Structure 1
Amino acid sequence: ARHPYSWDVIGVHEDLTAASVDDVQEFFKTYYSPNNLSLVIAGDFDAAEAKRLVEKYFGGIPAGPSLDRPARWIPTLDRERVVEAFDRVPQERTFIAWPTPQLFGDGDAELDLASKILTDGLNSRLKKTLVYDKQLCTDVTSFQYSLEISGMFIVDATARPGASLAQIEQVITDEIERFAKSGPAPEELNRSRTKWESQFVSGLERIGGFGGKSDLLNQYNTYFGDPGKFEEDLARYRKATGEALRDTVAKWLNNRNRLIVRFHPETSSRESQVALDRSKQPAIGADKPFRAPEVKTAKLENGLEIYVVERPELPKVAVALATQAGSVADPAGKEGTAHLTVVNLDMGTKTKNTLEIEDSLGNLGTSLQGFAGRESSTVSLEVLKRNLAPAMSIFADVILNPVFPVAEVEREKKRHLDNLAQEANDPNALAARVQNMLVFGPDHPYGRPRSGLPATVKPLTRDDLARFHETYWKPGGSALIFAGDITLAEATELARQNFLAWTGGAPPAVTIPDPRPLGAGKVFLIDKQDAAQTVVAQLLAAPQRKTDDYYQLNLADAVWGGGFQTRLNLNLRENKGYSYGAFSFPSLYSKSGIWVASGGVQTNKTKESIVEFVNELRFLGGGKPITETELADAKANRVRGYAQNFESLGQLVGQIATLWSQGLPMSELQREPDELQRATLAAVIAAAQKYAVPGKATLLLIGDLSKIRSGVEELKLGDIIVLDTEGRPVTKQ
């Protein structure tokens, strides 16, 4: 018999096509039944009222057939099996997988911890060897995939150009053999435990999502019939010993009874339910008013601003430093400088090298995250409260004292160039790279690729990064943000201890000129040979974030494509079946913005999909004005979903950092849902007509030109220009 995990959850096209309506109805009657249901309600609600409603709407649904839980079935392999696959990928990659125990099975927790020791952090065993020392890989990851009846341990390594998969696989095999013989060092075990606990506690911040409270309650209840296994789950990891990890790795991983899947670049190419009326949906209860979290503030003498949201429910704190050092400040011809500066901050300070920094943070159960946006850069960490003080010391050291060692910068530059090569092979990433070029101009601060291009990244040196850091990372242009189990007084004291000595005032202002668009009324094509889909992107100029009609534009977007039940997605996905999803989103910066609608469509339906994109834009711009019902749905979607932006400490810190970087007051946290509720239909229609102007739209298509170009030409939408993957016109067409 086939193992229940041997086929994809979403099935394959042939089976889906063969399924009849009777098959689907019978499956629904069998499995979508109350006796096979685990229902979790999580959030801000009255428990007694929730129970009453559950009884009302679910109590009268007839039970389905009795169902037995599947028995444990860990498959076995009697030898090493190798699959060689070829696809249009820029780098080789190997996946090595072993059958392993199920969730809560003997060895499950130990394999989770072993995975962290092997690949979590730059100083982990495999990452240090393959990425840092030997530089054979761009990245290497591993995880224990624990399910109900069995599990699977996977190591995934992406080879650097020219590196041998055989050599990489041998390094992985040798390291696992070494682990099986000697086990982990005490500090490795302690670090992996602390990291796992921090990750577990972080998941409990969220009421939903993978690893959130409701997810874990349902998982425990479904698999074990007991939703209250939080403490038992945590205890598995706390009691795991080095010997147990060693023996578990020896039992499950230190063998050749495994699967290896190797991906290689394709070389062939051409030129370039109670008595209820169940036919009606129950009415939704009254909305609770949103109350924004209180943001407390302070400021150090050196100009560093401090923002604090006290949320003491969990013993954890999220911290971020935002600074006015985004990609708009990249020197001309050196795009990618802001990005590489952030990437290399923790590659060495005046007192610690990168592996010492990695070890120190890992021992505290945390790691640094960094991101260079358009107008600001952010460095952040999340840590258990007991470890906050020492973590802040390392956090400040990295921000204030980076030395940008030459060897580290060169290694990280190589990795970034590898990532840029992968980006050039990903149609969605390509669209994100090129769209701003077309709307703002390729040399405009908002138009230049945020993380650079190969030609601008290759020449960058450690001196470029050091100079950029010295020029733009300043206390007078920065904000230190805390959220979690911390008071304003505690946060201010930590800031004084670690950042008061930071000097330098404010950074120089960056001049943002008016946009110089390339493509209004034009069609741009980028060729992706043998692409199964075409990415269609419709580009519009948009206002700055502080525009008076920001909220009205937000609601117009919620009608057009900013969600699932929107015009674009219902048309392209639900009605026509051309796309898995088509959506829109405005990105509004301090001086101007861009409004993008996009989606991947079937290659053989590219022409028809473009017609629908064009029609929907015309309808939004006045051909089919937004209705009262659509506006009410848009408001409900945006206002009811708004609170989800504050679910985790990291999200909360991110919201504050975004407002700060845009020069907006923290009162905006409460103002946004209030203004969305107040917006009138006339004002929303006016905003739609102001910005959704078909004649000013640019169309960007990324797909197989040999299959889509003739159809595009037949539409006669405007001049057609073929671009390369860096947005430059291709002379040979």
Structure 2
Amino acid sequence: MEFHPQPQPGLPSPWDFPAPERGQLPNGLTVLRCHRPGQQVVAVEVVLDAPLDAEPEGLDGVATIMARAFSEGTDKLSAEDFTAELERCGATLDAHADHPGVRVSLEVPASRLPKALGLLADALRAPAFPDNEVERLVLNRLDEIPHELANPARRAAMALAAELFPAGTRMSRPRQGSQETVERIDAAAVRAFYEAHVRPAAATVVVVGDFTGVDLDHALAESLGAWTGGPAEPRPMPAISTEDAGRVVIVDRPGAVQTQLLLGRVGTDRHDRAWPAQVLGTYCLGGTLTSRLDRVLREEKGYTYGVRAFCQALRSAPDGTGLGMVAVSGSVDTPNTGPALEDLWGVLRTLAAEGLTEAERDVAVQNLVGVAPLKYETAAAVAGTFADQVEQYLPDDYQAGLYERLAETGTVEATAAVVNAFPADRLVTVLVGDAAEIAEPVKALGIGPVTVVSA
């Protein structure tokens, strides 16, 4: 029998987040491209400056319907023919609307990129928005709303937004619209929103993948380069003031056997110098199965299958101002709602008093920075991050710099950032559960006045 020597691990190779090449087409469309050898599935992201706060009053959800309708035919192709052409290319097209704007995403084999870019360009340049297809999309959206309201996590998110942001601001209302507003949307409203906000000069396209053998300049010029429209106009972000005081809202679900927890407050966005330290500290608090919250609430007490803490950017402006949110989410069984919240607050107070440990910081850095090469193995992951940077008015090298800053952040800095982000006396707590069972135990905790609302 022949024996072979055991394979030995190779030396780690240096890795940096890729940098895009920035340019602009004659029609004003900004282009970010990134050649990634070996990535035979090319990812394309189009960022449109059509934020939710630009939706007309009473038509919340029109941006979402418009985004979904981009694949429902063009001036050249019916909805069925457009879908068939995408399938012939082996391509997928998706779109969604969020507070920063509308994103259209395309993935396609590199060999079919020129053809797929033509279809994408037609969808943006001359969408048909046929009455019957828009009506179908509206009905589909109306069908989704009851399911969202029945989902405890989604219902908690809606309640938290309504509590964090002043009534009347777009951020306080459901991102994809309510039943009342979606019912008012028709094809004319979708066309009007498109005409007002979708133009190449106010858009950016990101293309990531292996361009070997592809004349990308020619493909872009022949497709998205033929898209025309008016000049881009600066769009100020509405100023939003928030009430930063601790309080509790219980969304009553009589008979619920579990309570959905969502604690949050308005925070900074990625422009803030403390963001890397906040990301690191928040990960130590609740970013993984070994975090403090999981260690206490899941492993020691058995209240939950998992609790997570996170921070996210919501909307940024060109001047570097913006809004973010920090939050803790999870679910516990109804009888242990009070004890679980008491222990959660105990974790926050202990963190403020004692700080993070060097071991916690080191594990977080390894998990956040060390796995980055795996996180960005696909072209879609890289393109999505570039598009996020565009939406948030960040420089093209932001993500690469973020990993450097995370690796350099010390334990004291991370502790200060997470304690400032999650002050125990200024968190808004949303509980979706049986108010008759949980209201009194929660009031006894003294974490803020308690309000009960119907589901």
CA distance in 2, matches of 1:497, 1:288: 39
CA distance in 2, matches of 1:617, 1:334: 40
Letter in 2 for 1:355: E
Letter in 1 for 2:107: E
Secondary structure at 1:446 match in 2: helix
2:442 to 686, 691, 712: 712
Corresponding residue of 1:612: 343
Q: How does 1:673-684 map to 2 (within 5 A)?
A: 673-684=403-414
Give the conservation status (yes or no) of the 8 Å contact 1:324–1:377.
Answer: yes
Corresponding residue of 1:685: 415
Give the conservation status (yes or no) of the 8 Å contact 1:645–1:655.
Answer: no
1:505 to 231, 235, 243: 231
Give the conservation status (yes or no) of the 8 Å contact 2:68–2:137.
Answer: yes
Secondary structure at 1:535 match in 2: strand
CA distance in 1, matches of 2:422, 2:270: 17
Letter in 2 for 1:362: E
Letter in 2 for 1:448: R
Give the conservation status (yes or no) of the 8 Å contact 1:436–1:594.
Answer: no
Superposed CA deviations along residues 12-35 of structure 1, whole A, max 9, x for unmatched, are: xxxxxxxxxxxxxxxxxxxxxxxx
Corresponding residue of 1:313: 38
Corresponding residue of 1:362: 87
Q: CA deviation at 1:718?
A: 2.0
Change in CA separation of 1:316 and 1:685 when aligned onto 2, cut-off 3 Å: closer
Give the conservation status (yes or no) of the 8 Å contact 2:117–2:219.
Answer: yes
Superposed CA deviations along residues 439-491 of structure 1, whole A, max 9, x for unmatched, are: 22243233322111111111112122111111111212211111112169832
Change in CA separation of 1:537 and 1:669 when aligned onto 2, cut-off 3 Å: same
Relative CO higher for 1 or 2, CA cutoff 8 Å, sep ≥ 6? Answer: 2
1:662 to 379, 392, 410: 392
Letter in 2 for 1:716: G
- Alignment of 1:533 with 2:258, yes or no, is yes
Q: CA deviation at 1:313?
A: 1.3
2:333 to 590, 602, 609: 602
Corresponding residue of 1:238: none
CA distance in 2, matches of 1:345, 1:454: 22
TM-score, normalising length from structure 1? 0.58
Change in CA separation of 1:475 and 1:601 when aligned onto 2, cut-off 3 Å: same
Letter in 2 for 1:503: G
Corresponding residue of 1:410: 135
Corresponding residue of 1:516: 242
Superposed CA deviations along residues 537-562 of structure 1, whole A, max 9, x for unmatched, are: 11122112200111111111111112
Corresponding residue of 1:477: 202
Change in CA separation of 1:637 and 1:444 when aligned onto 2, cut-off 3 Å: same
Change in CA separation of 1:567 and 1:601 when aligned onto 2, cut-off 3 Å: same
Give the conservation status (yes or no) of the 8 Å contact 1:326–1:377.
Answer: yes
CA distance in 2, matches of 1:417, 1:314: 39
Superposed CA deviations along residues 150-177 of structure 1, whole A, max 9, x for unmatched, are: xxxxxxxxxxxxxxxxxxxxxxxxxxxx
Change in CA separation of 1:627 and 1:288 when aligned onto 2, cut-off 3 Å: farther
Corresponding residue of 1:340: 65
Q: How does 1:181-580 map to 2 (within 5 A)?
A: 289-486=14-211, 490-501=215-226, 502-517=228-243, 520-580=245-305
Q: CA deviation at 1:507?
A: 4.5
Give the conservation status (yes or no) of the 8 Å contact 1:534–1:606.
Answer: yes
Letter in 1 for 2:7: K
Corresponding residue of 1:34: none
Change in CA separation of 1:710 and 1:287 when aligned onto 2, cut-off 3 Å: farther
Give the conservation status (yes or no) of the 8 Å contact 1:439–1:515.
Answer: no
Change in CA separation of 1:52 and 1:487 when aligned onto 2, cut-off 3 Å: closer
- Alignment of 1:649 with 2:374, yes or no, is no
Q: How does 1:135-146 map to 2 (within 5 A)?
A: none
CA distance in 2, matches of 1:677, 1:286: 20
- Alignment of 1:694 with 2:424, yes or no, is yes
Change in CA separation of 1:328 and 1:647 when aligned onto 2, cut-off 3 Å: farther
Superposed CA deviations along residues 634-676 of structure 1, whole A, max 9, x for unmatched, are: 2112111222331211111101100111111121131111111
CA distance in 1, matches of 2:12, 2:280: 18
Letter in 2 for 1:516: T
Secondary structure at 2:230 match in 1: coil
**How many residue pairs get matched?**
445
CA distance in 1, matches of 2:184, 2:89: 36
Unaligned 5+ segments in structure 2 are 317-321
CA distance in 2, matches of 1:293, 1:633: 24
Change in CA separation of 1:619 and 1:400 when aligned onto 2, cut-off 3 Å: farther
Secondary structure at 1:702 match in 2: strand
Structure 1 or 2, whichever has the larger Rg, is 1
- Alignment of 1:627 with 2:352, yes or no, is no
Letter in 1 for 2:24: K
CA distance in 2, matches of 1:516, 1:546: 19
Change in CA separation of 1:359 and 1:488 when aligned onto 2, cut-off 3 Å: closer
CA distance in 1, matches of 2:5, 2:134: 58
CA distance in 2, matches of 1:520, 1:445: 21
Superposed CA deviations along residues 694-722 of structure 1, whole A, max 9, x for unmatched, are: 12111100012232223223323222112
Give the conservation status (yes or no) of the 8 Å contact 2:435–2:452.
Answer: no
Secondary structure at 1:587 match in 2: strand
Letter in 1 for 2:328: A
Unaligned 5+ segments in structure 1 are 1-47, 54-284, 726-733
- Alignment of 1:703 with 2:436, yes or no, is no
Q: CA deviation at 1:50?
A: 8.2
Q: CA deviation at 1:525?
A: 0.7
Letter in 1 for 2:43: A
Superposed CA deviations along residues 337-373 of structure 1, whole A, max 9, x for unmatched, are: 2111101112222222211111111222222111112
Superposed CA deviations along residues 530-581 of structure 1, whole A, max 9, x for unmatched, are: 3231111111221122001111111111111122211111111111111111
TM-score, normalising length from structure 2? 0.92
RMSD between superposed Cα atoms in Å? 2.2
Of 485-494 and 347-356, deviating more is: 485-494
CA distance in 1, matches of 2:278, 2:40: 39
Q: CA deviation at 1:723?
A: 2.5
CA distance in 2, matches of 1:536, 1:677: 31
Give the conservation status (yes or no) of the 8 Å contact 1:521–1:695.
Answer: yes
Secondary structure at 1:592 match in 2: strand
CA distance in 1, matches of 2:112, 2:367: 39
Secondary structure at 1:694 match in 2: coil
Corresponding residue of 1:581: 306
Superposed CA deviations along residues 392-419 of structure 1, whole A, max 9, x for unmatched, are: 1111111111131111111111111111
Of 681-690 and 300-309, deviating more is: 681-690
Corresponding residue of 2:319: none
Superposed CA deviations along residues 375-397 of structure 1, whole A, max 9, x for unmatched, are: 02111121122222221111111
Corresponding residue of 1:76: none
Superposed CA deviations along residues 280-301 of structure 1, whole A, max 9, x for unmatched, are: xxxxx99754312231222112
CA distance in 2, matches of 1:533, 1:556: 28
Change in CA separation of 1:586 and 1:343 when aligned onto 2, cut-off 3 Å: same
CA distance in 1, matches of 2:14, 2:160: 38
Corresponding residue of 1:227: none
CA distance in 2, matches of 1:531, 1:50: 56
